[in-house]
A and B are shown apart, each in its own frame.
Chain A
């Protein structure tokens, strides 16, 4: 741990040591850590996508093998957990927008729900468009 230097005006800072598990025991702090952990789910999904791209590049057999590997129960359970974290990321991210960027009309603050709502609209539209592109049969 780095010690802050003492100056003319301050003695050496005293800091109460905090337990590593400070975030357990309070719902609010636990939610904070859960929210921070959503980044792992984000990285996981990107890695899955990279493996899919690699399989596509390698040919039809590799793609079939990839689809097969994704059916393993361990991966399905993991993906279900990752899905929950991704949704937590999406919801917390969208709800944060009106706080980071308060919108005012005629000097009055627009309710947070109204600022967050377009995000959810965009989310639904984007999801439907992507699903359509992936699932469409030519």
Chain B
């Protein structure tokens, strides 16, 4: 028997993050990245957005929205580099960069949301 690996756990994070990213990220990017900057819709006031971000449920939602998609990125990007660019000799570096980045982003989002 092969030794147990963490692959399943990371794959779970990957697929959960994939769902969250697929359902929620397009509307966020559309509003804040295109609709507001291009003046299609006027952006919300600071007070309104802050009140929204301070809502406990919204905080939990925003935390999930930041962390899970980052782990999705980490898992998928790791294999993109592996298959697409064939940089197999840098495997460890890529691994640390990807999952390290996801952990860092998760910590930053947690810190920001706790202090909000």
Identify A49's interface contact among B23, B26, B28, B116, CB under 8 A: B28
| Chain B CB within 8 A of A31 CB | no
Q: What residues of B have a CB within 8 angstroms of the CB of A67 in the complex?
A: 36-37, 43
Find the A residue at minimum CB distance from B20.
A42
Are A83 and B77 also in contact (CB < 8 A) when A56-B50, A57-B116 are? no
Q: Is the CB of A18 within 8 A of B86?
A: yes
Q: Is the CB of B29 within 8 A of A131?
A: no
Most buried by A among B29, B58, B85: B29
Within 8 A of A (CB), among B3-44: 17-19, 21-34, 36-38, 41, 43-44
Are A130 and B105 also in contact (CB < 8 A) when A76-B38, A93-B18 are? no
Q: Is the CB of A64 within 8 A of B46?
A: yes
| Chain B CB within 8 A of A135 CB | yes
Find the B residue at minimum CB distance from A59.
B46
Q: Is the CB of B48 within 8 A of A48?
A: no
Q: Is the CB of A89 within 8 A of B22?
A: yes
Tally of A interface residues using CB under 8 Å = 56
Bound-state CA distance A133–B62 (Å) is: 13
Q: Is the CB of B77 within 8 A of A39?
A: yes
Q: What residues of B have a CB within 8 angstroms of the CB of A43 in the complex?
A: 69-70, 73, 77, 101, 105
Most buried by A among B30, B65, B116: B30
| Chain B CB within 8 A of A80 CB | yes
Q: Is the CB of A20 within 8 A of B29?
A: no
Are A36 and B24 also in contact (CB < 8 A) when A1-B89, A54-B112 are? no
Q: What residues of B have a CB within 8 angstroms of the CB of A36 in the complex?
A: 76-77, 79-80, 83-84
Least CB distance from A67 to B in Å reads 6
Nearest 6 pairs between A and B by C-beta?
A79-B33, A39-B76, A127-B27, A43-B73, A93-B22, A36-B80
B-binding residues in A (CB < 8 A): 1-2, 18, 20, 23, 33, 36-40, 42-43, 45-50, 52-54, 56-57, 59-60, 63-64, 67, 70-71, 75-76, 79-80, 82-83, 86-87, 89-90, 93-94, 119, 122-123, 126-127, 130-131, 133-138
A-B contact pairs, 26 of them (CB 8 A): A1-B88, A1-B89, A20-B86, A36-B77, A43-B70, A45-B21, A46-B66, A49-B32, A49-B65, A53-B62, A53-B116, A60-B46, A63-B46, A67-B37, A70-B33, A70-B36, A70-B37, A75-B33, A76-B37, A83-B34, A86-B26, A126-B23, A127-B24, A127-B26, A130-B27, A133-B58
